[in-house]
Amino acid sequence: MGEFSKVFVLLTPTGQLSMEDVPTMVLCKPKLLPLKSVTLEKLEKMQIEAQETVKKQELALKEHYYQQIAPE
């Protein structure tokens, strides 16, 4: 108990209590992901399919080209 009596009491029973407001860094907020509409999903699907078709055709074209020049 003797130790505790040494503690200096900062709070006064009267008067105002003031606190220093230190600005802190802020985090960006959590992000709910928006659901996609049916149209958007279909558009995306069609776009991916279209890209794949184009890729396939380009590959086929390349193969065709190499086959042509291979015999030489």
Partner 1 sequence: MEVAMDPLFLAWSYFRRRKLQQCSDICTKILQDNPYDQAAWSLKTRALTEMVYIDEVEVDQEGIAEMMLDESFIAQVARPGTSLRLPGTSQGGGPSPAVRPMTQSGRPITGFVRPSTQSGRPGTMEQAIKTPRTASTARPVTSASGRFTRLGTASMLTNPDGPFINLSRLNLAKYSQKPNLSRTLFEYIFHHENDVKNVSVALYLQQKELVNITLQDFDCCNKNVLFHQALDLAAQATEHAQFRDWWWKVQLGKCYYRLGLYREAEKQFQSALNHQEVVDTYLYLAKVYQRLDQPVTALNLFKQGLDHFPGEVTLLTGIARIHEEMNNISSATEYYKDVLKQDNTHVEAIACIGSSHFYTDQPEIALRFYRRLLQMGVYNCQLYNNLGLCCFYAQQYDMTLSSFERALALVANDEEQADVWYNIGHVAVGIGELTLAYQCFKLALAFNNDHAEAYNNLAVLELRKGRIEQSKAYLQTAASLCPHMYEPHFNLSILCETIGDLQSSYTAAQKSEDAFPEHVDTQQLLKQLRQHFAVL
Residues that bind partner 1 (CB under 8 A): 21, 23-40, 42-44, 46-51, 53-54, 57
Cβ neighbours of residue 12 closer than 8 Å, sequence gap 6 or more: none
SS3 assignment, position 23? coil
Tell the smallest beta-carbon distance from residue 13 to partner 1 (Å): 30
- Token pair for residue 27? 């985090």
List the structure tokens of 63: 């193969």
Return the SS3 of 45.
Answer: helix
CB of 16 to partner 1, least distance (A): 20
Nearer Cβ to partner 1 (15/30): 30
Residue closer to partner 1 (CB basis): 28 or 69: 28
Q: Which residue, 7 or 28, is less far from partner 1 as judged by CB?
A: 28
